[in-house]
Amino acid sequence: MTLKVRRPALAGRLRGPMQGLSMLIFVAFIVVALAANWGFFLNLAGAVAVLVIVHNALALTAGNLVARASRLSAYDRRSLTIETGIQNSGLGLVLIFGFFGGLGGMAVVAALWGIWHAISGIVLASIWRQFPVRP
């Protein structure tokens, strides 16, 4: 944020590469989590995937409803919806591996969570892109 304020041109040039790098790091976390816990993944993936998808749908809906009830602007409603619905699974994986020794079931949940949240976030952003908010 400081760079964007003090050097906006540089921040603009770095935005694309930084987005790519952050996605690459995120995918690497997921690959490591799944590789280290493949057996758990095969046993738990179906049940965990359903729970992750339902949880994400409820969180996105709750964020949007709270934003509407608070009479926020369309921009802020979208922001609150995304912030509520897309949690930081990368941080979850770091905590799981750093403090819990990569405990299998936890890593599977965080990995599936990260994959699904990336998918649902991209889909939601793509839908919203088709309906721009008027200033």
The CA distance from 112 to 11, in Å, is 32
Express each pLDDT in 11-20 by its tens digit. 999 999 998 8
- Predicted pLDDT of residue 104: 66
- Predicted pLDDT of residue 21: 92
Written as six digits, the tokens of 2 are: 């400081």
Closest CA to 34 of 83, 96, 82, 124: 96
Q: CA distances (Å), 21 to each of 5, 27, 97, 110, in order?
A: 22, 10, 21, 20
Domain count, the chain: 1
- Predicted pLDDT of residue 69: 97
The CA distance from 18 to 31, in Å, is 20
In a domain, residue 118? The reply is yes
pLDDT grade, residue 26 (50/70/90)?
A: confident
In a domain, residue 134? The reply is no
- Predicted pLDDT of residue 34: 73
Segment 104-123 mean pLDDT: 82
Segment 78-99 mean pLDDT: 80
Does residue 105 register a pLDDT over 80? no
Residue 56 maps to which CATH number? 1.20.1530.20
- Please tell me the number of Cα atoms within 13 Å of 81 on its side-chain side: 19
Written as six digits, the tokens of 31 are: 């690959």
In which domain, by residue range, is 55 found? Answer: 2-129
- Predicted pLDDT of residue 52: 87
In a domain, residue 135? The reply is no
pLDDT grade, residue 86 (50/70/90)?
A: confident
